[in-house]
Amino acid sequence: MTTDTRTPPAPAPARSPYRVTTARVLRSEWHKLWTLRTTWITLIAAVALVLSVGITMGSTYDGDDSDVDTVVFVLFGTQLSQICFAVLGILVTAGEYATGMIRASLTAVPRRRPVLWCKTAVFATVAFTLSLVTNIVTFLVAQIWLSGTDKELSLTDSGVLGALTGSAAAITLLSLIALGMGALLRSVPGGIGAFVGAVLVLPEVIGTLPLDAVDTAVKYFPAQASASLGSLTRVEDTVSAGTGLLTLALWAAAILVAASALLKRRDV
């Protein structure tokens, strides 16, 4: 009788119930966004600015601004709310570096890049949805006072819903540019300064140069491209709405891809 001396095969390692999946990273980023007090403060401020300015414009309209597009007139407050959304976008990424939370995030997700892409997806969904709902509510409320004037419109009128959606898309894409800048610079003050300087101030400075080529190039800067959206009629000295949307999307994609590449290479 012989004895089997072969070593039995090692048991297969147990599959961890805590695998990192896209759904779990998305859920994590969703909870992190909504558990921050700054999120609520910033979003409430953004909504309040659009609503209050829209109500003020509608209730005080006396016919002096009859040449201004109705949607642009009602949503004038979005010029202020986009700053709130941009600041929140920067806080979503650079804020974690300021608090040190980024170490826990990247330890939980060693591949790193899913953290940035899930932050982007969650923030874009919140920014677009809230902006669109706020735009629609502001438009309807303002029409209470604008009814019977030359600015009376309804949501079913041609182009109205598209302009409201375009305005929300512009705010969202500008906010994603800010989010990418926050990830690139890893600093809240630096991100805010870069966004204000590069996106809002620099095109105005460059635009003062007396060159036709400069005037054409400035139209494709983010803030100028966003001006072509959110209007029933084409705004003077801007690209078409479709071109503006594509331009903003390319700007946001380029900055986010750069931030993703550096996130993979840099130390925390």
Every domain of the chain and the residues it spans: 22-265
Whether 4 has a pLDDT exceeding 80, the answer reads no
Rounded Cα gap, residues 148 and 156, in angstroms: 17
**Mean pLDDT value of segment 165-194:** 96
Q: Give residue 37's identity as a one-letter amino acid code.
A: R
Q: CB of 84 within 8 A of CB of 43?
A: yes
- What per-residue confidence (pLDDT) applies to 110? 86
Please give the model's pTM, rounded to 2 decimal places.
Answer: 0.90
- Mean pLDDT score of the chain, rounded to an integer? 90
pLDDT tens digits along 209-251: 888 888 888 899 999 999 889 898 888 778 889 999 999 999 9
Shortest CA distance to 29 belongs to which of 128, 104, 131, 134? Answer: 104
Q: What percent of the chain has pLDDT over 90?
A: 65
Distance CA 143, CA 150 (A): 11
**Angle at the Cα of 57 (from 55 to 62), degrees rounded to 5?**
125
